[in-house]
Structures are given as C-alpha cells and as structure tokens.
Structure 1
Amino acid sequence: MSDGVKIIAAGHYVPASVVDNHQLAAIMDTNDPWIQSHTGIKTRHFSLAGENTSDLATKAAQQALTNANYAAEDVDLIIVSTITPDAQTPATAAIVQKKLGAVNAWGYDISTACAGFVFALSTAEKFIKSGVYKSALVISAEVNTKMMDFTDRTSTVFFGDGAGAALLVADGDQSVIRAEKLQTMGDAETIHSGRVAPISAIKATNYPVTDAFYQSGRDVFEFATTKVPEQIASLLAANALSSDDIDFYIMHQANLRIIETIAENLGQPVAKFRENVSYYGNTSSAGIAMAFAELMNEQDLTGKRLLLTGFGAGLSYGSVILEF
C-alpha cells in the first residue's frame, strides 16, 4: 500500500459558443442588469456544435495528460462526475476511456451533482492509497443546457457547459488530501433533474420521458450560505487550522453572490476565492474542477494549502483540504 497521492496536472475545456445575457433576454423574460445583480454572471458557454458530455470530458482530460506528459495507456482508473451523462448507460467514463485510448483503464460515473468533483477526488485518492492502482483521471463534465427548460428564467440563466480534469498518481508518502468532510442530507425536492416516472399500465404508448432541471433558488441560497460555511469551519477546526491558514478557496461556482457571502461568513477576503462563474456560468460539478485547473496552470502551488467545497442536489456537500 502507498499513502502518497499527488495531483500532477489538471486541464479544462469549454465549448466555443459564448452566450451573453442579452441573448437569453431575447427568448425569456429577463434582462442583463437583473442577471448580473442577482448572480454575477455575464456570459456562459453553450455546447451548440454537437459536443456531448463525453466530448468535453475527453478534451479536458487530454489537456491534463498533455500537461503532465503522461500517456493515456498508463492511466489505471477514470472517474467521471456528471449529472448530464451522454446516456444512463453506458457510463460516460467508458466512452471517455475509448476516446482517450486509455486501454488499460477501467472507469465509472458518480453523481453527486455540484459536489461531484470533491467526491470524485476523495474516491480516486482511496483507490490509489489501496496500492492496487497507480493513477487516476478525475473528470467533472456537464452539458447542462440539454437538461434546461428554456422557459424557466429562474434556473436557465445560471447555467453553462464545461469540463475539468485532474490527474492523480501514487507518489511519496503523503497524500495531497490532508483532510475531508463529506455529507448528504437526503433531499429530493430542492434540486432535481432527469426524473423518469414508472409506468402505470401496460400500453403500447409507454415511452420514457424525463423532466428538466429544477431548483428552488431561495432554498439553495439558504443552504449554501449556512450549512456550507458550518461544514468548512468544522473541518478547519478538526484539523487545527483557521480560515486564515488557507491560501485559496475554490467553492462550487453556483453564483457569485453565494461565493461572496461564504467569504464574508468565513471572515476572508473574496480575493482568496477563485471564481469562473462570471464568465462560464454555473457549470455544476465542472465549476470547481475548471477553477482548480486554471489555478494550477497559472502558478506553482508548492507550499500552498487549498480548500475545495462543493454543494448541490442530494443535498450533498463536501470539502477537502489540499496541501501541495
């Protein structure tokens, strides 16, 4: 067994089509000042050229592999976090495995919504620490737009499409994850997507129908600005750390106002909180992964301490402290 797990590279990808608030205002009852004042979002990327979730995931993973000069054939495990898979089966991870040419890897999907990257990092680390596997690609990828109701201005204006990836390998005797706290609150109503009702009779007209994404914005804001800071404070205290001991915070990119409120609750300057929601929108599980990739590719993180926190449908939420 090996206790050493490192993150050696990261990558991210967004579709080419940039959609601003005025374009959404043209098809629904909203406007740019309202969207920016309530969410901080100015633009987002939509997958309008036929790219599905596996395509975005593959391109983010390829960037991570290139950055690490690591061969796809050397990857042992692929975990894809998504709530917008290509299909219910096969797993998006299986499709990504083929597209990457990662012939020696096995893979599967996990679904913890916007907390997915945090949960997937934790999971991959455990596989590597078992000593059975030496490397893992953790990918969060979402094509949220295919699950939106474009008459629902309370949800659709938030979301965009994108993917982020991190490459973990067995190395040394210390794990990059110093501590973690993962929780679930068993709530199926506040946020949900893709519900398929069971049949009620044997009929030739039976056919699966899925519902669009839904969220209760007020309840999400309340949850994110109360329960989430409580979890962060608890995790820090349990590890003899204060909020000042964290160099960078990366929250789920739900909206800018939530990030600002969490920063205030923790007594930290918002400058320590990485954000991409203003230009990518809410990309669900991919938001943290992309913000992490941007940070890792901008600067040397040696000696830095990061706290990543995701929260979303489930209600599932989790935090990890990373030390490089």
Structure 2
Amino acid sequence: MPGIKILSSAHYVPEDVVTNDDLAKIMDTSDAWIQAHTGIKTRHISLKGENTSDLATKAAQIALAKAQVKPEELDLIIVTTFTPDGLAPSTAALVQRNLSAKNAWAYDIMTACAGFIFGLSTADKFIRSGAYRKALVVAAEVNSKMMDFKDRTSTVFFGDGAGAVVLSADDQIDMVKGEQMCTIGNAEVVHSGRIAPLTTLSANNYPVTDAFTQIGRDVFDEVTMLIPEHIQAFLANKDLETKDIDYFIPHQANLRLIEYIATALNEPLEKFSRNVVYNGNTSSAGIAIGFDELNQTADLTGKRVLLTGFGAGFTYGSILLEL
C-alpha cells in the first residue's frame, strides 16, 4: 500500500479587503465590537464576480505549478465547499474544466467548515487503494454571497478564499499519520441554503434559498465542549500529547475560539494558525490557507502538524501530518 506525500500547497483570496469600519457603514456594528467579540480585523470579499470555482481554480493553478504537476497528470479532484457555484454541475467539475485536467474525475464534499479535513481523508483513501497516484484537494468558499448583510451577528465573521494541496502516492514517504472523523446531526445551530419543499402546486412556485444563519452562543458552547477533548483523545490514541505537536491548524472560526482551545490544551497560542484575524472565517478554506501559510514560512521537515476542523452539521475531525 503506498504512502501519501504532500507535493505542494497554495492559497488565493480575492483582492478586495473589507475592514470592520467598512461593515459599520452598512450595519449596526463597530470595529471595537467586532474585534472584541471575534478578533477579526479584516476579511477578503469577492466583489468582482469571482465565484467559488474561480477561487478554487486559482489556488489549484498555483499549487500545481509549485508541484510541477501538469493538470492532465491528476487522477482525482476534490473540492470541499458549502458555498458551491450551484448544485449542478459540481464546483469540482468546473475546476476540472478550468484546469483542462482531462484525466481526472471530480466531485464536491460538503461538510461545511470541516470540509478540508474530510477532503484530505477521502483523497488519502483513493490514493492508498493503489488505483490513483495524484490528487488535488481544494477548499474554497465565497461565503459573502450567502450572507444576510442585515445580520451583524453572523456576517461580520466571514470572508472568502481558497486553499489547495497536491497529493501523490509515494512508496517511501507517508505524511498522513492518522485521522478521526465525527458527526453529530444538528440542523438548527448553523444552516445555510435551505430550499423549502412545495406545499401546493402553483405556476408561481420558484425555488428560493435562505441566507446563512447561526446561533453563535450555541456554536461556541458546542466547540468548547467537544474540540479540546477530541484533540486530546485523538492524540492519546496515537500515544502522543499536545506537547508533541509542533503546529496546530484549527478551523478559523474566530480568534476567541482559537484562544480558548489553546488555553484548554495548555499550549502557547504561537503554535496555532490565526489567519482568521485578517481573512475572517473562510469556512473550509481556513485550514487549507493556514497550512499553506505555515508551509511558506516554516521548515516543516520532521514536524508534526495537527489539522482540526469543526463546523455545521455538527461535523468535526482531525488529521495528523508528519512532514
């Protein structure tokens, strides 16, 4: 059975930066309130017509160039998103077309903010099967298109962006050292894109989707109750402790949650990715962006990196990398 090697990583965010003061001009909020409650200072918003497949394609192109892998060498493309271009075709199919990755089959995974973890896990299994050699996993979100900009309790958190990794089978190296995935069905704490079923037959029937909404306090309570314990139990099962992890890349929900997790694990905040401060909550893309930023700035040779995603569903999980 082959091992898994991460050949490259990349990320892309839209060029338009929206500050807290910009949001305060259109809703009842302030820079002081947003920073106090979320730690977020800025976010990138797609204001020039870039959709999720566009962000995903740009991140993928950078990752493929870094890996010196041609699109036609790809066997599989997975896009993780809960803000797809549409229900059909899949966003992954659009990325496959944009890249001219003619030999790859492609599909989406939708597990909200935990998506990148589930995408990596899925690609890992296809490669380990021996039937596929190279895979592209992209986490991409245009959260802004799903927001109600009158809802200050949700909208101030979110930004748009994409992150990508290129994976390859390898007979000598195995960078993926373990994983655990969990789901607790809860449809009320966070939801987005609901389309109501018909109640009558009428020529006026037309599908309408709802905006993203969350019960922020319930989300915070759920994460703080589950995630530190999940991380500790996951590592203990590998005969590891949190001190054995060099870098943590959690979902970039908000800075206050990351601070809470770091304190609960008794680990310094410096070991945690915190791109949420300047990117906002980019849903499934936050971990992928954090991994690429770390990959660009640190020598990860021999380092252990823990990726932990959690999001709507309630879905969460971790993947341990040794690079």
Name the TM-score class by shorter chain: over 0.9
Moved more, 297-306 or 125-134: 297-306
Residue type of the partner of 2:141?
A: E
**Pair 1:280-2:279 in alignment:** yes
**Cα distance in 2 between the residues matched to 1:223 and 1:63:** 36
SS in 2 for 1:108: strand
Contact kept, 8 Å, 1:57 with 1:139, in 2: the verdict is yes
**Pair 1:313-2:312 in alignment:** yes
CA RMSD of aligned residues (A): 0.7
Deviation at 1:68, TM superposition (A): 0.9
Residue 203 (structure 2) aligns with? 204
SS in 1 for 2:124: helix
**Pair 1:63-2:62 in alignment:** yes
Deviation at 1:174, TM superposition (A): 4.6
- Aligned-residue sequence identity (percent) comes to 62
Residue type of the partner of 2:60?
A: A
Residue 184 (structure 1) aligns with? 183
Superposition map of 1:85-104 within 5 A: 85-104=84-103
Superposition map of 1:17-56 within 5 A: 17-56=16-55
Deviation at 1:274, TM superposition (A): 1.1
Which TM-score applies when normalising by structure 2?
0.99
**Cα distance in 2 between the residues matched to 1:105 and 1:306:** 28
Residue 163 (structure 1) aligns with? 162
**Cα distance in 2 between the residues matched to 1:249 and 1:192:** 27
Gap runs ≥5 in structure 2 = none
Q: CA offsets per residue over residues 289-314 of structure 1, 9 Å max, x none?
A: 00101111223311000000000011
Superposition map of 1:207-286 within 5 A: 207-286=206-285
**Cα distance in 2 between the residues matched to 1:173 and 1:199:** 55
Deviation at 1:8, TM superposition (A): 1.0
Residue 293 (structure 2) aligns with? 294
Which TM-score applies when normalising by structure 1?
0.99
Q: Which runs of 4+ in 1 moved over 3 A?
A: none
Contact kept, 8 Å, 1:306 with 1:322, in 2: the verdict is yes
Residue type of the partner of 1:5?
A: I
Q: CA offsets per residue over residues 71-121 of structure 1, 9 Å max, x none?
A: 111011000000000000000000000101111100000000000000100
**Cα distance in 2 between the residues matched to 1:265 and 1:3:** 36
Deviation at 1:173, TM superposition (A): 4.2
**Cα distance in 2 between the residues matched to 1:12 and 1:145:** 18
**Cα distance in 1 between the residues matched to 2:13 and 2:205:** 37
Deviation at 1:226, TM superposition (A): 1.6
Contact kept, 8 Å, 1:181 with 1:231, in 2: the verdict is no
SS in 2 for 1:318: strand
Contact kept, 8 Å, 1:141 with 1:285, in 2: the verdict is yes
Residue type of the partner of 1:48?
A: L
Q: CA offsets per residue over residues 263-282 of structure 1, 9 Å max, x none?
A: 00001000000110000000
SS in 2 for 1:194: coil
Gap runs ≥5 in structure 1 = none
**Cα distance in 1 between the residues matched to 2:47 and 2:29:** 22
Residue 148 (structure 1) aligns with? 147
SS in 2 for 1:274: coil
Residue type of the partner of 1:309?
A: T
**Cα distance in 2 between the residues matched to 1:61 and 1:168:** 12
